[in-house]
C-alpha cells in the first residue's frame, strides 16, 4: 500500500467493468458504452476512436490498430492484426529513384494504407454487440463540438508547431493562425468529424472503397505518393494466433510478427532464471539484467521481425528454452555487452494504448497509432485525416527481412498484451512508446509479479531502457545506480522525456474486483463502475 504522504495515485478499483486510457474523455466514452450494456470490444473501439480525436499526435483513423481480446464465451484469447500494407507501386528501387538512400521517416512516401478503421469493423463484427455508428458517436461529438486539450497533448503540439505548419492542409486542420492550441482550450476538428460521420453511416467501405479512399489517393498523387485506389480496396485485417510464453506461473500472450511482441517474450524467457525477485528494485543488478535482455532481444527483432507473408520467421526457435539459455549465456552480469549493436530504427514514441474489462470478464487489450508523433505530418485535404508514417519502419537494405516491397506490412512497434492464470485472464496491459514497448511490458509485468507492486505502483515506477546506443533512465533512477552502471560499461543518459505510457487492469477473480492503473506520464485515467 502506498504512503499517502507522497504524491501519487491510488489503484482504481471496481467490480463490474473498467476502462483505462490516456485521455479522460476516451475513458468516459468507453465507460458509458459499458453502462449502456455494451461489452469490452464495443467500449474499446469507442474509446480508441475518441482517442483518435483527443490525442491527435499519437493516433488517428489514418493509422493502424492491433488488439488482443479475451472472449469469455469461448475462454480463449484472439489476436487481430490491423496493420496496413505498402502501396503496390512501392519498392526499394522506387524509393531510391526519388532520391532517397534510406526510407523517409516523414512525408508522403512514408504513408502505408491505414488499417485502423477496418480493424474496428472486423473486431465489432466478430465480438461486438453494438454497431459502428453507435460506438463512433462519442468521437464524432468530440470532433464536432470540441474537446479540452490536455497538458501532455498541448506540450507535444507546441513542440511540433513548426513541423505541422510545413504542410498547408495539416496547418489548416491542426493549427490556429499557425499556433498550437494551449492546454485547457477547446479544439474542434470539423473535417475529421465529417469523415467519421461518413464511416459511421456507410461503414468501412466508405473508407476503403469509396469517397474517403479516393480523396486520400488523390492527395497522395498530388504530392508525389504511391498509393492507388486498389491498395485501399484490397486491404483486409487479419485474425492471427497469439504467441505466448510462461513467466512466474502466468501465460503471457503477445501478437506475432509483423508486430514486435516476440521481443517481450524473448526478454521474459531470458529473465525467468536471473533471479530478478531477489534483486534490489532499480539497483544496478536489476537495471543491468533488464537492459541486457532487451538489447539481445532487439537485435533478433531487427534481424527477423517483418511481414510473415514474405519471410519464414523462426518464431518457435526464438521462443524456445534452448534459445533463451543461449541468450542468457551471452549476458555478463557485471559488464555491458559491446555487441549486439543497438537498433538502427527510430526511437520515436507516440501511440495510444487502452484496456477494457467488462462484467462478463471479456477483456480488450487495444493499441492504435500513427507511429511517430503526428505521423507523416500530412492531413489528407478535406478529409481531416492525419496519415501515419508507418512505412518509415521499412528498410532499403538488400536482403533484409524488413525491406520494403509491394503490398508488404512493415515491422510494427505497437503491441498489446494479456496474461493468463490458467484459463482466465488476470492482467490486461500495454506500454506505448515505440521501440521501448517490449521493455515496458517486461518491466511493468515484473514490477507486479516479482516485486509485489499493485498495478498503479508497477506503472508509476521510474523507468529505464536502451536507445541510440545509450542506457536511458528517468530521473527517479538514483545517482548511485547510474554510477555503477557506468562502471559496468553502460553509457548512461537521462531521458529528456518520460519513457512510455502504460495502462493496465488486474482481474482479481477470487474477490470479483478489478484493479486499474493509468500512467501519470500521460493525461489519462482508469475508471470503473
Task: Write the pLDDT tens digit of every residue in 22-75.
Answer: 999 999 999 999 999 999 999 999 999 999 999 999 999 999 999 999 999 999
CB 255 within 8 A of CB 243: yes
CB within 8 A of 522, min separation 6: which ones?
A: 22, 23, 152, 501
Q: Is the pLDDT reported for residue 239 higher than 50? A: yes
3-state secondary structure (DSSP) of residue 166: coil
Q: Is 351 a catalytic residue?
A: yes
What does the DSSP 8-state code read for residue 506? E
Residue 349 has pLDDT above 80, yes or no: no
What is the Cα–Cα distance from 115 to 407, expressed in whole angstroms?
13
- Residue 210 confidence (pLDDT) above 60: yes
DSSP 59: -
The total of other beta-carbon atoms located within 10 Å of residue 177's CB is: 5
For the chain, which residues make up each domain, given as ranges? 240-348+415-507
Q: What pLDDT does 5 receive?
A: 60
Contact at 8 Å (CB) between 405 and 310? yes
Three-state DSSP class for residue 288: helix
Rounded CA-CA distance 508/506 in Å is 6
Interacting residues of 525 by C-beta distance below 8 A, sequence separation 6+: 12, 20, 21, 24, 27, 518
What secondary structure does DSSP assign to 450-466, as a single string?
Answer: TS---HHHHHHS--EEE
Grid coordinates belonging to 81 = 492484426
CA dihedral 262, 417, 41, 503 (to 10 degrees): -140
d(CA 482, CA 460) in angstroms, rounded, equals 19
CA–CA separation, 265 and 319 (whole Å): 7
Residue 287 has pLDDT above 60, yes or no: yes
Confidence of residue 4 (pLDDT cuts 50, 70, 90): low
pLDDT of 264 strictly over 70: yes
Q: What is the spatial distance between Cα 412 and Cα 308, in angstroms, rounded to a whole number? A: 12
Q: Is a pLDDT exceeding 60 seen at residue 342? A: no
Judged against a pLDDT cut of 80, whether residue 86 lies above it is answered with yes
Closest CA to 418 of 361, 456, 460, 371: 361
Residue range 240-348+415-507, CATH number: 1.10.246.130
**Long-range contacts at 210-217 (CB < 8 A, ≥ 24 apart):** 212/383, 212/385, 215/380, 215/381, 215/382, 215/383, 216/380, 216/383, 216/385, 216/387
In the predicted structure, residue 471 carries a pLDDT above the cut 60? yes
Cβ atoms within 10 Å of 236's Cβ, excluding its own: 12
Q: Strand order of the sheet with strand 64-71?
A: 238-240, 76-82, 64-71, 363-369, 352-357, 18-21, 525-528
Q: Hunting for cell 536489476 — which residue is that?
A: 286
| 64 membership: H or E segment, kind and range | strand 64-71
Is the pLDDT assigned to residue 7 strictly greater than 90? no
CB atoms within 10 A of CB 234: 14
105-127: b or e for each residue (b if 16 or more CB lie within 10 Å)? bbbbbbbbbbbbbbbbbbbbeeb
Residue of 21, 59, 170, 351 marked catalytic: 351
d(CA 150, CA 369): 18
In this predicted structure, what is the pLDDT of residue 346?
Answer: 46
Average pLDDT, the chain: 96
Residue 144 corresponds to which cell in the numbers above? 464536432
The pLDDT-based confidence of 341 (bands split at 50, 70, 90) is: low
DSSP for 422-453?
A: TTEEEEEEEEESGGGHHHHHHHHHHHHHTS--
Predicted structure pTM score:
0.96
Per-residue pLDDT band for 3 (boundaries 50, 70, 90) equals: low
Q: How many CA atoms lie within 13 A of 380 on its CB side?
A: 31
> Residue range 394-409: average pLDDT?
97
Work out the number of other CB atoms within 10 angstroms of the CB of residue 303: 15
Rounded distance between C-alpha atoms, residue 283 and residue 452, angstroms: 16
| Block residue for cell numbers 478529409 | 383
pLDDT > 70 in the chain, percent:
97
CB-CB contact of 507 with 445 (8 Å): no
Residue count of the chain: 529
Question: Could you give the CA distance from residue 518 to residue 273 in angstroms, rounded to a whole number?
Answer: 30
Largest CA distance in the chain: 62
Q: Could you give the CA distance from residue 85 to residue 232 in angstroms, rounded to a whole number?
A: 9
pLDDT, one tens digit per residue, over 95-154 is 999 999 999 999 999 999 999 999 999 999 999 999 999 999 999 999 999 999 999 999
Cis omega (within 30 of 0) for bond into 340: yes
Amino acid at each position: 500500500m502506498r504512503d499517502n504522504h507522497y504524491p501519487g495515485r491510488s489503484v482504481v478499483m471496481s467490480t463490474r467493468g473498467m476502462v483505462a486510457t490516456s485521455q479522460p474523455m476516451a475513458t468516459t466514452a468507453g465507460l458509458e458504452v459499458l453502462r449502456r450494456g455494451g461489452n469490452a470490444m464495443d467500449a474499446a473501439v469507442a474509446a480508441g476512436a475518441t482517442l483518435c480525436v483527443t490525442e491527435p499526435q499519437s493516433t488517428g483513423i489514418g493509422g493502424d490498430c492491433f488488439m488482443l481480446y479475451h472472449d469469455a464465451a469461448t475462454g480463449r484469447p484472439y489476436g487481430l492484426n490491423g496493420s496496413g500494407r505498402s502501396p503496390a507501386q512501392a519498392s526499394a528501387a522506387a524509393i531510391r529513384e526519388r532520391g532517397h538512400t534510406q526510407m523517409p521517416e516523414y512525408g508522403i512516401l512514408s504513408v502505408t494504407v491505414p488499417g485502423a478503421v477496418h480493424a474496428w469493423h472486423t473486431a465489432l463484427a466478430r465480438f461486438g454487440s453494438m454497431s459502428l455508428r453507435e460506438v463512433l458517436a462519442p468521437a464524432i461529438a468530440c470532433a464536432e463540438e470540441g474537446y479540452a486539450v490536455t497538458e501532455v497533448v498541448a506540450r507535444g503540439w507546441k513542440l511540433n508547431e513548426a513541423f505541422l505548419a510545413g504542410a498547408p492542409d495539416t496547418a489548416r486542420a491542426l493549427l490556429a493562425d499557425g499556433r498550437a492550441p494551449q492546454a485547457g482550450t477547446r479544439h474542434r476538428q470539423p473535417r475529421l468529424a465529417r469523415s467519421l460521420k461518413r464511416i459511421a453511416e456507410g461503414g468501412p467501405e466508405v473508407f476503403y472503397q469509396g469517397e474517403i479512399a479516393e480523396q486520400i489517393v488523390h492527395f497522395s498523387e498530388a504530392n508525389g505518393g504511391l498509393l492507388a485506389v486498389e491498395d485501399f480496396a484490397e486491404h483486409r485485417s487479419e485474425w492471427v494466433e497469439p504467441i505466448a510464453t510462461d513467466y512466474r506461473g502466468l501465460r503471457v500472450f503477445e501478437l506475432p510478427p509483423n508486430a514486435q511482441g516476440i521481443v517481450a517474450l524473448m526478454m521474459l524467457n531470458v529473465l525467468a532464471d536471473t533471479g530478478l525477485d531477489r534483486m534490489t528494485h532499480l539497483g544496478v543488478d536489476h537495471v543491468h539484467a533488464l537492459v541486457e535482455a532487451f538489447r539481445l532481444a532487439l537485435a533478433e527483432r531487427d534481424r527477423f521481425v517483418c511481414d510473415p507473408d514474405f519471410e519464414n520467421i523462426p518464431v518457435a526457435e526464438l521462443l524456445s528454452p534452448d534459445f533463451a539459455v543461449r541468450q542468457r549465456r551471452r549476458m555478463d552480469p557485471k559488464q555491458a555487452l559491446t555487441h549486439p549493436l543497438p537498433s538502427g530504427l527510430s526511437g520515436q514514441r507516440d501511440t495510444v494504448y487502452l484496456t477494457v474489462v467488462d462484467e462478463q470478464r471479456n477483456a480488450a487489450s487495444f493499441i492504435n497509432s500513427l507511429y511517430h508523433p503526428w505521423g507523416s505530418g500530412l492531413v489528407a485535404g478535406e478529409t481531416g485525416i492525419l496519415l501515419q508514417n508507418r512505412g518509415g519502419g521499412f528498410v532499403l537494405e538488400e536482403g533484409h527481412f524488413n525491406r520494403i516491397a509491394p503490398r508488404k506490412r512493415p515491422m510494427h512497434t505497437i503491441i498489446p498484451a494479456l496474461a493468463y492464470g490458467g484459463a482466465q485472464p488476470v492482467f490486461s496491459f500495454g506500454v506505448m512508446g515505440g521501440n521501448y514497448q517490449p521493455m515496458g511490458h517486461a518491466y511493468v509485468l515484473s514490477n507486479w509479479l516479482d516485486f509485489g507492486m499493485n498495478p498503479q505502483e508497477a506503472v508509476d515506477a521510474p523507468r529505464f531502457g536502451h536507445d541510440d546506443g545509450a542506457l536511458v533512465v528517468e530521473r527517479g533512477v538514483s545517482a548511485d545506480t547510474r554510477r555503477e552502471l557506468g562502471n559496468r560499461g553502460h553509457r548512461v543518459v537521462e531521458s529528456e522525456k518520460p519513457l512510455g505510457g502504460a495502462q493496465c487492469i488486474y482481474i482479481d477473480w477470487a474477490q470479483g474486483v478489478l484493479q486499474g492503473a493509468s500512467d501519470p506520464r500521460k493525461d489519462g485515467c482508469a475508471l470503473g463502475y
